[in-house]
């Protein structure tokens, strides 16, 4: 969920290192969310697709697989390091119908009416209004932009870790502009997309599996490494309270343990906006 047109720290070297370390397990955890967005987008062979804020490659990789060989996916991100991972993953899979483009979603270097579909998984929360206008501009008439955002903060994945840490840190959970849960309120993503120029918008909330295939310690380590907007809050935990806070997080996460997995589940928001 690397962001285009937002804080560049989301594309930091730390995220690249974390992605490499946990790429298999992280991919497994996000698989159902990716499939939910790809199914929602109804990608078809032959389509020219633009994926915004691709991060390490999803849903771009899955889209390219589904529309091969005749369609093409352009994966974009603000971080060239993340896009290197996309290239590696595509090469591993032998995909020839995907390319990368290092760009800001707020100023896309593509012609008007270029794409049959635009997608973004966990990126729209960090877009400015300009990115929505640019999405609309590069879509062909009648084509859709399809987005997935996190639902409310009050759900297992976030509340068990960041919610627990907040009890020790106090203050602001996360700056509003970097809040991954900013569209958790029903209708708020629709309103944002309409402000960006779309008229036909559909929104729905869906719960998908969000399962970590390992220990609480692992998923807590990963979450600290990739959830950059929460870092200031984490750093506010007094040093003398850190061990207690860490134990509390692990206890909260382990409430969702099922065998050798952590079954959080994820409440997500899906929205599509059609260019008239």
46-to-65, 179, 263 alpha-carbon distances in Å: 12, 36, 36
Beta bridge partners of residue 203, listed in sequence order: 271
Identify the residue whose tokens are 């509340």.
159
233 alpha carbon, distance to own chain's centre: 21
* Span 86-109, average pLDDT: 96
Q: Which residues pair with 77 in a beta bridge?
A: 102
Whole-number pLDDT of residue 7: 39
CB 90 within 8 A of CB 98: yes
Confidence tier at 154 by pLDDT (50, 70, 90): very high
Which residues sit opposite 146 in a β-bridge?
119, 272
Q: What is the mean pLDDT of the chain?
A: 93
Mean pLDDT of 170-185: 95
Calpha distance 140→149 (Å, rounded): 23
pLDDT-derived band at 228, boundaries 50, 70, 90: confident
d(CA 90, CA 130): 29
Task: Give per-residue pLDDT as tens, 111-124.
Answer: 999 999 999 999 99
pLDDT at 11: 42
State the number of CA atoms in the 13 A half-sphere of 235 facing the CB: 8
> Where residue 19 falls among pLDDT bands split at 50, 70, 90?
low
In what side-by-side order are the strands of the sheet with 72-77? Answer: 98-102, 72-77, 48-51, 115-121, 139-150, 266-274, 200-208
DSSP reduced 3-state for 74 = strand
Predicted local distance difference test score (pLDDT) of residue 9: 40
Please list the residues that pair with 207 across neighbouring strands.
Answer: 267
Which three-class secondary structure state does DSSP give residue 243? helix
Position 167 confidence tier, pLDDT thresholds 50, 70, 90: very high
Q: Is the pLDDT of residue 23 over 90?
A: no
Fold of the 8-274 domain: Rossmann fold (3.40.50)
**Mean pLDDT of all residues in 122-149:** 97
The percentage of the chain sitting over the pLDDT mark of 70, rounded to a whole number, equals 93
Backbone φ and ψ for 24, nearest 5 degrees, come out as: -70, -50
Among 24-28, 45-49, 144-148, which stretch is predicted with the lowest mean pLDDT?
24-28
- Terminal Cα-to-Cα distance of the chain (whole angstroms): 28
Residue range 18-25: mean pLDDT, rounded: 76
pLDDT in tens, 232-275: 999 999 999 999 999 999 999 999 999 999 999 999 999 999 99
The confidence band for 18, taking pLDDT boundaries of 50, 70 and 90, is: low
């Amino acid at each position: 969920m690397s962001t285009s047109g937002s804080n560049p720290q989301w594309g930091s070297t730390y995220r690249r290192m974390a992605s490499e370390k946990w790429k298999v397990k992280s991919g497994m955890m996000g698989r159902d969310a990716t499939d939910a967005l790809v199914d929602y987008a109804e990608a078809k062979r032959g389509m020219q697709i633009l994926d915004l804020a691709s991060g390490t490659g999803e849903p771009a990789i899955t889209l390219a697989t589904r529309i091969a060989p005749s369609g093409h996916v352009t994966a974009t991100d603000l971080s060239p390091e993340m896009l290197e991972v996309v290239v590696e993953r595509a090469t591993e899979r032998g995909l020839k119908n995907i390319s990368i483009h290092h760009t800001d979603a707020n100023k896309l270097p593509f012609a008007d009416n270029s794409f049959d579909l635009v997608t973004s998984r966990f990126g729209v929360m960090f877009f400015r209004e300009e990115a929505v206008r640019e999405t609309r501009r590069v879509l062909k008439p009648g084509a859709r932009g399809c987005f997935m955002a996190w639902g409310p903060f009050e759900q297992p994945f976030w509340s068990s870790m960041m919610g627990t840490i907040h009890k020790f840190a106090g203050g602001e959970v996360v700056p509003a502009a970097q809040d991954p849960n900013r569209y958790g309120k029903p209708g708020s993503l629709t309103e944002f997309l309409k402000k960006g120029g779309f008229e036909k918008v559909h929104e729905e909330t869906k719960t998908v599996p969000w399962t970590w295939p390992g220990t609480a310690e692992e998923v807590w380590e990963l979450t600290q490494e990739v959830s950059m907007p929460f870092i200031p809050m984490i750093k506010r935990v007094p040093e003398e309270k850190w061990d207690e806070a860490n134990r509390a997080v692990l206890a909260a996460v382990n409430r969702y343990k099922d065998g050798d997995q952590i079954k959080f589940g994820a409440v997500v928001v899906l929205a599509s906006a059609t260019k008239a």
